[in-house]
Amino acid sequence: MSVLVVGSVALDSVETPFGKADAVIGGSGTFFSASASHLAPVQLVGVVGDDYPLAQLDALKQRGVDMAGLEQAKGESFRWRGRYRHDLNSAETLETRLGVFSHFSPKIPAQFRSAPFVFLANIDPRLQLDVLRQVQRPKLVACDTMNFWIESRRPDIVELIKHVDLITLNDGEARQLTDCANLVKAARWIMERGPKMVIIKKGEHGAFLFKGRSIFFAPAYPLEEVFDPTGAGDSFAGGFMGYLARTGDLSDANLRRAVVYGSAMGSFAVEKFSVQRLLEITPADIATRVAEFRQLVAFEEELPA
Amino acid sequence: MSVLVVGSVALDSVETPFGKADAVIGGSGTFFSASASHLAPVQLVGVVGDDYPLAQLDALKQRGVDMAGLEQAKGESFRWRGRYRHDLNSAETLETRLGVFSHFSPKIPAQFRSAPFVFLANIDPRLQLDVLRQVQRPKLVACDTMNFWIESRRPDIVELIKHVDLITLNDGEARQLTDCANLVKAARWIMERGPKMVIIKKGEHGAFLFKGRSIFFAPAYPLEEVFDPTGAGDSFAGGFMGYLARTGDLSDANLRRAVVYGSAMGSFAVEKFSVQRLLEITPADIATRVAEFRQLVAFEEELPA
């Protein structure tokens, strides 16, 4: 089954303790697509300016990402410039230029409207709601958001989450949205307002999946070299949604596996700049990393005394 | 088999967003003993002043903690006063009065010297080394430390770790000791200098066990109510060492189970002030929490396509 993603397609300039990358392809839609396309067909909806190096998206096309929903508008592409310090935990945004993204109004191509899995990446919640009006009842709709929207468009987020099955957000955003310091309570607050499931991402500290009273936790893979954390969250979402779309199975057991696939894809994303590592990896690499995740948390039942 | 612990026996005054406790029993030796005594016989070595409410330690005695090594000296007991803010992540120390603890020189009673499991809780590394000179070759020696000693007694810590099998420290301390921001590298740095194993505790974000090339991770239990984080690390150590002492088994599989027992005991410790919750819980409570840990991280193998 296919996954529809609506998100940003941007140009990132990133500085980490290990190097610099200038105007490389990035954005939530791009990372999500590069990740999910390992697992399922992806349909991307976004906008770029007339300065965008479209040829660099060819690698995504070759991976089966359908670009029919990628609009090219007159003007400058969305550009983000950021820096990570020594601990790599949080990006310092040096510059954001929205460009054509500031007038983005997602138009879902007719052939995308019946996508069974829909991911509303981090864009204005009013646009996320608008996308939902354009699609036919999908099997699963998930959305992401960020602090900026929680501050400026809170009522729209509260409206949006009535209509999604799952929301992904990081721990700080979950606390900010719900005003609960405790993540279990924050997840419950959200689930009382619509979503059946909440994924709270804690970066290098892993991710929780809350569903009703059940809680699943997957650690982040303890990499020796985290090169550039940009896009880890969207790559996580791509792995999660891609795995669900590949299997078409929304059972609890499969949702847990999907979180592990998300964590695996997030762990690849941070190994190189941009989507570079996501474009290199093979199905065998993914299978190996998933097996390593199992090893990381596996403990056997105690033998009866 | 028994566990010998050498550590502080203190009086804590703690303020959290949920309440205040004044001069309640605390200290690394106390929390460790309250935790480990659920799993194995414990031998405690420490010092208190003549102001200590010794009757409050009776509950530990009843749990099988041998107090023959608890010295009472003339003067004031070790007192710590601290406060946790809303996020409960780090204690703000308001006052530390070492009292009789500043002249503590651990004397291991003859009948404790052959303890097969030894835990050197967070005290001056010179005293930790001194304890090692007094004990006969144990099956496993573990030590803890803290930022204060890493700053002031670094060469002694480097000497100490040549002689221990395992060190527990938190993520900040691991980075401080090794000057490696990456925890995998930090653990390797330490293992190259003596210990076969390293446990890096990340508080609410769980704990890693490193042993050679193998890494095990156990999350912290996602409690809805964290009441008072004081003593969580020592209770973790108590659960870990206690489980090893109960089973006498140092296999990889059993070390992993021991980490889960440590996490379970740490999760109980934070549910009430002081050792209150640790004194209430039953074997059934512990078994239930360990089973919940399994549920928290369990994911099944994918069925072949």
Q: What is the pLDDT of residues A92-110, one digit of tens each?
A: 999 999 999 999 999 999 9
Stretch A272-277: mean pLDDT: 97
> From the CA of A176, how many Å to the nearest CA of chain B?
13
Partners of residue A214 in chain B, C-beta under 8 Å: 295
Which of B221, B299, B303 best probes binding to A when mutated, by most A CB atoms within 10 angstroms?
B299
Domain coordinates in residue numbering, chain A: 3-297
pLDDT(A12) > 60: yes
Considering only the beta carbons, identify the residue of B184, B216, B219 that sits closest to A224: B184
Angle at B294 between CA B229 and CA B4, to 5 degrees: 55
**Considering only alpha carbons, which residue of chain A is nearest residue B260?**
A299
Instruction: Please give the pLDDT value at position A52.
Output: 98
Asked if the Cβ–Cβ distance from B217 to A222 is below 8 Å, we say yes
Which of B260, B292, B297 best probes binding to A when mutated, by most A CB atoms within 10 angstroms?
B297
Instruction: Please give the pLDDT value at position A25.
Output: 97
The whole-angstrom separation of Cα A37 and Cα A29 is 12
Q: Angle A232-247/A252-269 helices, nearest 10 degrees?
A: 140
Strand ranges in chain B using DSSP code E only, listed in sequence order:
3-6, 10-16, 19-26, 42-48, 65-72, 78-84, 91-97, 117-120, 140-144, 166-170, 197-201, 207-211, 214-218
Asked if the Cβ–Cβ distance from B181 to A219 is below 8 Å, we say no
Mean pLDDT of chain A: 95
Instruction: Please give the pLDDT value at position B281.
Output: 98
Instruction: Please give the pLDDT value at position A303.
Output: 57
Considering only the beta carbons, identify the residue of B181, B208, B302 that sits closest to A222: B208
Instruction: Please give the pLDDT value at position B303.
Output: 57
Asked if the Cβ–Cβ distance from B182 to A302 is below 8 Å, we say no
Query: What three-state secondary structure class fits A9?
Result: coil
pTM (2 d.p.):
0.94
State the CATH class of domain B3-297. Answer: alpha beta
Considering only the beta carbons, identify the residue of A205, A256, A297 that sits closest to B205: A205
Which stretches of chain A sit within 8 Å of chain B by CB? Answer: 86-88, 181-185, 202, 205-206, 208, 214-219, 222-226, 253, 256-257, 259-260, 294-302
pLDDT(A177) > 90: yes
* Tokens describing residue A53: 């190096």
**Considering only alpha carbons, which residue of chain B is nearest residue A296?**
B216
The whole-angstrom separation of Cα A130 and Cα A147 is 20
What are the b/e assignments for A4-41, b being 16+ CB within 10 Å?
bbbbbbbbbbbbbeeeebebbbbbbbbbbbbbbbbbbb
> From the CA of B103, how many Å to the nearest CA of chain A?
38
**How sure is the predictor about A56, in pLDDT bands with cuts at 50, 70 and 90?**
very high
Strand arrangement, sheet containing B65-72 = B65-72, B42-48, B3-6, B117-120, B140-144, B166-170, B197-201, B207-211, B214-218
Residue A25, strand partner residues:
A11
Partners of residue B257 in chain A, C-beta under 8 Å: 299-300, 302
Partners of residue B184 in chain A, C-beta under 8 Å: 222-224
> From the CA of B52, how many Å to the nearest CA of chain A?
35
Instruction: Please give the pLDDT value at position B90.
Output: 76
Instruction: Please give the pLDDT value at position B238.
Output: 98
> From the CA of A2, how many Å to the nearest CA of chain B?
18
Question: Within chain A, what is the greatest distance between any pair of CA atoms?
Answer: 72
What percentage of chain A carries pLDDT values higher than 90?
A: 93
Mean pLDDT of chain B: 95
Distances (CA, A) of A138 to A168, A237, A243, B180, B209: 18, 17, 16, 46, 42
